[in-house]
Structure 1
Amino acid sequence: MVSFSRRSQIMLASSAALFLASCGADDVASPGAGAIDVVINPPAPTPTPTGTPTPTALTAAQFALATTVGSASGSVITVDEQLALVNKGTNNNVNGFGATLNGVYPTSGTSLATASNPQTVLGNTSFIQNTSFVGAMSGPNDNAFSGWTCNSTAATFLNSASCAAVPSIGSGGSAATCPTGTTDAGLVQGFRACRLPTTITTDLTLPKIAGVFYRFSGETKVGTDNGVTGGTGVTLTIQPGVTLVADGSDSAVDVLIVNRGNKINAVGTADAPIIFTSQQNLKSDGVSDVTQGQWGGIILLGRATTAVCATGFTNPCQQQIEGVSGYYYGGSNDADSSGTMQYVQIRFTGFEVTPGNELQGLTLGGTGTGTTIDHVQSHNSSDDGIEIFGGTTNLKYFVVTGADDDGFDVDNGWRGFMQFIIAAQKVSGATADSFATEIDSNGAEDLTPRTFGRYANFTFVQQAGTNPAPSAIRLRGGADFAFVNGIVKSPTTCVNIVASEGTGDNRTTIRAADQAKQDAGPPTFNSVYFQCQGR
């Protein structure tokens, strides 16, 4: 390319010669022989498009984890067998990689895998919705989880406040009056504390009153339990926007228990969720992003069937719920109702009573299909986000953020469906056996009802940095499961399928369907996008 200065000199010389010639100056000296060096830089060649790089395929050992239970080495499901089970399904991608998620949101509105019709695959058209995308959300602007959730480093949602922020209780606590059925417990951080009775024996409604929160202390019970044939029929009703607070002023474990035959009716709205939290959360900077284990959580008990029975409680089967003593679940009514929880946050829960005996954000024990659970978030539980012991309750729009152990833990013969669920694990500090979902039957693999679950439109973000880090999905105990339209992201392996009984083709978790054993056959995966090994 000719430089600008050189082009200017040539143009000026030419103009001057023309000017002199026009004036008759024919004898102007010629510049003489010579040449002007003109340097031309050729344009850089256009690079050849390379397209999207193809990732190296994961090995079976990178994708799945094989586990030996006790000395039953013959029951091991190999990593090759686990990968083959996934590949047997349709529209699965086991080699996902790259910046596909922004937290729990897909970075694009284009589905990460071709979606399947979950109604067709799972066979439940009354509860399961048909969708055209994988994961719990359709894209970066999906607002299905907006407002009623809270934000943390585990996951953020559109138009939601921080989980550590003081709930919107309102002003005017000093002049507020506690409603009938509660007791005035004075002012806390300028808010009026209205204490719930230890045992709620008649229907009680907690209205939204500016400046008022409701406090519970120790084992707070809704109704009493008259066994599998009845209950006292008490309902605790909580209005939108209400905040309920665990006392935390003494060593007692604060937990809200809804006994069999009684109900909770906690129905918030997207703009005014109901918040269960700790008293520390009433103070600015009273909690942080790592706060957990400040109270015991919520327990709903019902009279639906369960597989594991306590001694002397086999007709019908009943079992004592984990975490507290003397409270039972189970019965024979799979349509039983323990009430409704919608648009609810449960913050900073979890408590280890003894090793292996813990309380979590929400515990369901033998609750039936009449129990409605949707639009609920369990945040920063020091144990599981939710654990389900038996029963038949379905879940929809359920979020677990920052759990120290599992996101969704199901066992003891739970038989149900979940759709639009998210498990976003805490970045650090999770236990060595924390999974986005842990599915089993406590090792009693041929008890009935057999654990039978169906997940549709799920997003599991596993972030535990323990060594070795657990898989995102752990399926064991002979449980029957189907996974449809999901996203699984893990820093290590994605799947851990385990059997502890049987050998060869008779290994419990992957053996062929057997109606006599209520066995639906091996787990199935359809339209699941796996992004393993931190890729």
Structure 2
Amino acid sequence: MKKSILAIAVIVTLAFTSCTDDNNPSTPKSTFELKIDDLKGDITDGTVTLDPSQTYTLTGALIVKSGATLTIPAGTTIKTSTTALNTSLYIGVERGATININGEANNPVVMTSGQAAPKESDWGGLVICGDAKVNTGDNGTSEVGGLSFGGNNNADSSGKINFLRIEYTGAKFSSDKEFNGVSFFGVGSGTEVSNIYAFESGDDGIEFFGGAVNASNLVIVNAYDDSLDFADGYQGTITNVYISGVSKAGIEGSNNQGNDIATPMTDAKLINVSIVKGADAKFTAGEQAINFKEGGGKQTYTNLFVSGIDTFAKLDTGSGATARIDAGDFKVNGKNFVSTSNLTTDYVSTETGAGNGATLPTWATKISKNN
């Protein structure tokens, strides 16, 4: 009898140890079937981790559902199918789901076109949805992907994006329904975002729809709409931004399309920014360096450098935007913006911007196209 009791005690002890040993955490398994040459479908549970030694082919939408996690190690490459419809090719992260893009300096995660002659709009891009506040409502649906986003948790975390190069994105359903390079819908400040290189996007390079996520070290080269965009009550700080190849606006900042004084009001702080028009004639910067749009909200630019754009800003003339400008809520390099006549590119060209004025900064070479 004593031997039986002792055996039971040992089994119980081993079971308890295996469940509580923090030194050997286990990754929850997922029922998702991972296929290298057919990457698509819904990740509904557990954690799926890609193999950096493989090149994956994205053949349709890959959606990380609420409660599940997708982890992408440094050096992983994902290329798109050469035959699938471009608007069907994207990676989406639902509200409540997690994505961990764990790139490293000089060893980024790469998401790119699989076409032999790649170009903008070859595929969708990356869409991340969170539970943070958006001034269009607490339960919105993303413009692309049909994913729910928004809530009341500004500290929400959707995971992390570190050292990502994303190329040839921006597939279009129509003129008002388009993918960006990376889209953040209601993403919270608990999400870590740094070192993204968005190259050749058929729409915006990177866009923030509300939320409170901060970001640093963003490179946006050759976007065929706006390069960097934020709207819908975005509350955050974006540090170190290099933009080159401007089709419309270098930066488009808005409050709310339907209600230009909606709250929470956009309150964006941008620090160390270079906006370079680009030498190719197709880059016209038709909406200037800054497009202060749809109420504008509060926007503060510190150490902003602009090159090649004759008129600094395009201004919304509505009452919401006018009120913000009159209140001194549009600040550029330590001064309140009043009109295009007092802030020309001669003024902002004296700054260092993202590091080297019009030249790609040193930090950006760690994720650049030529890496």
Whether these two folds match at TM > 0.5 is yes
Mark the runs of 5 or more structure 1 residues left unpaired by the alignment.
1-178, 185-192, 224-230, 281-285, 310-316, 513-520
3-state secondary structure, aligned to 2:208: strand
- Does the 8 Å CA contact 1:470/1:493 hold for their aligned counterparts? no
Please, which of 200, 208, 222 is the counterpart of residue 52 of structure 2?
A: 208
Q: Which residue of 2 aligns with 1:469?
A: 286
Whether contact under 8 Å (2:316, 2:322) holds in the other structure is: no
Instruction: Kindly indicate whether residue 333 of structure 2 is the aligned counterpart of residue 526 of structure 1.
Output: yes
2:60 matches 1:218: yes
Match runs of 1:185-264 below 5 Å: 193-202=36-45, 203-209=47-53, 212-223=54-65, 231=66, 233-251=67-85, 253-264=88-99
Write the distance in 1 (CA, Å) between the matches of 2:344 and 2:167: 29
Task: Output the amino acid matched with 1:245.
Answer: K
1:419 aligns with 2:239: yes
Q: 1: distance between equivalents of 2:183 and 2:283?
A: 26
Residue 497 (structure 1) aligns with: 315
**Cα distance between partner residues in 2 of 1:356 and 1:456:** 30
Identity of aligned residues (%): 28
Q: CA deviation at 1:318?
A: 1.8
Larger radius of gyration: 1
Deviation at 1:526, TM superposition (A): 1.8
Question: Where do residues 111-510 of structure 1 align in structure 2 (5 Å cutoff)?
Answer: 182-184=33-35, 193-202=36-45, 203-209=47-53, 212-223=54-65, 231=66, 233-251=67-85, 253-280=88-115, 286-287=116-117, 291-309=119-137, 317-325=138-146, 327-425=147-245, 430=247, 434-443=248-257, 444-463=259-278, 469-478=286-295, 479-501=297-319, 507-510=322-325
Unaligned runs of 5+ in 2: 1-29, 336-342, 350-371
Distance 1:399 1:456 in 2: 14
- Normalised TM-score (structure 2): 0.77
Q: Deviation string for 1:207-245 (max 9, x for gaps)?
A: 222xx212222221001xxxxxxx3x2110111100012
The letter of the residue matching 2:269 is R
Shift of 1:465: 5.2
CA distance in 2, matches of 1:335, 1:408: 22
The verdict on how the C-alpha distance between 1:180 and 1:445 changes in structure 2, with shifts beyond 3 A counting, is closer
Higher RCO structure (Cα 8 Å, ≥6 apart): 1
Q: What's the CA shift for 1:490?
A: 2.9
AA at the equivalent of 2:122: Q
**SS of match in other structure, 2:333:** strand
User: Match of 2:319, as an amino acid?
Assistant: E
More strand by share: 2
What's the RMSD between the two structures over aligned residues? 2.4
Cα distance in 2 for residues equivalent to 1:415 and 1:468: 26
What is the CA-CA distance between 1:446 and the residue it aligns to?
A: 1.3
SS of equivalent to 2:325: coil
- In the TM superposition, residue 180 of structure 1 has moved relative to its aligned partner by 9.5
Aligned partners of 2:229, 2:90: CA distance in 1, in Å?
19
How many Å apart are 1:532 and its aligned residue? 5.8
CA contact 2:204–2:224 (8 Å) conserved in 1: yes
Distance 1:297 1:466, change over 3 A: closer
Read off the aligned partner of 2:224 and give its amino acid letter: D
Match of 2:319, SS state, is coil
- Counterparts of 1:197 and 1:324 in 2: how far apart (Å)? 14
Q: Matched residues in 2 for 1:383 and 1:412: separation?
A: 18
The answer to whether the 8 A contact 1:413-1:448 is kept is yes
Q: Say if 1:465 and 1:527 are closer, same or farther in 2 by CA, change over 3 A.
A: farther
Q: SS of the residue aligned with 1:392? A: coil
Flag as ranges the 4+ runs of structure 1 deviating above 3 A. Answer: 179-184, 463-469, 527-533
What does the per-residue CA deviation read over 1:443-474, in whole Å, with 9 as the maximum and x for residues that have no partner? Answer: 31111110110010000112465778331111
Further displaced range: 490-499 or 402-411:
490-499
Measured after TM superposition, the shift of residue 361 of structure 1 is 0.3
Asked if the contact 2:165/2:197 (under 8 Å) is kept, the reply is yes
Scaled by the length of structure 1, the TM-score of the pair is 0.54
Residues 445 and 465 (structure 1), Cα distance of their counterparts in 2 relative to 1, 3 Å cut: same
How far, CA to CA, are the matches of 1:249 and 1:423 in structure 2?
Answer: 31
Return the letter of the residue paired with 2:142. Answer: I
Deviation sequence 1:279-303 (CA, Å, 0-9, x none): 12xxxxx236xx2110000000000
Alpha-carbon distance between aligned partners in 2 of 1:196 and 1:358, rounded to the nearest angstrom = 22
Letter in 1 for 2:329: P
SS at match of 1:405: coil
Distance change in 2, residues 1:365/1:378 (3 Å): same
Instruction: Provide, for residues 156-184 of structure 1, a one-character-per-residue CA deviation record: whole Å limited to 9, x for no partner.
Output: xxxxxxxxxxxxxxxxxxxxxxx995555
Give, in angstroms, the shift of residue 305 of structure 1. Answer: 0.3
Matched residue SS, 1:396: strand
CA distance in 1 between partners of 2:126 and 2:284 (Å): 32
**8 A contact 2:310–2:345 mirrored in 1:** no
Q: Distance in 2 between matches of 1:467 and 1:306?
A: 32
Pairing 1:60-79 to 2, within 5 Å after superposition: none
Q: Give the Å deviation of 1:197.
A: 4.2
SS at match of 1:510: helix
**SS of equivalent to 1:471:** coil
Q: Structure 1 residues 466 and 257 mapped into 2: Cα distance closer, same or farther (>3 Å)?
A: closer
Change over 3 Å in CA distance of 1:486–1:330 after alignment to 2: same
Structure 1 residues 532, 295: CA separation in 2 closer, same or farther (over 3 Å shift)? farther
Counterpart contact for 1:181–1:197, Cα < 8 Å: no
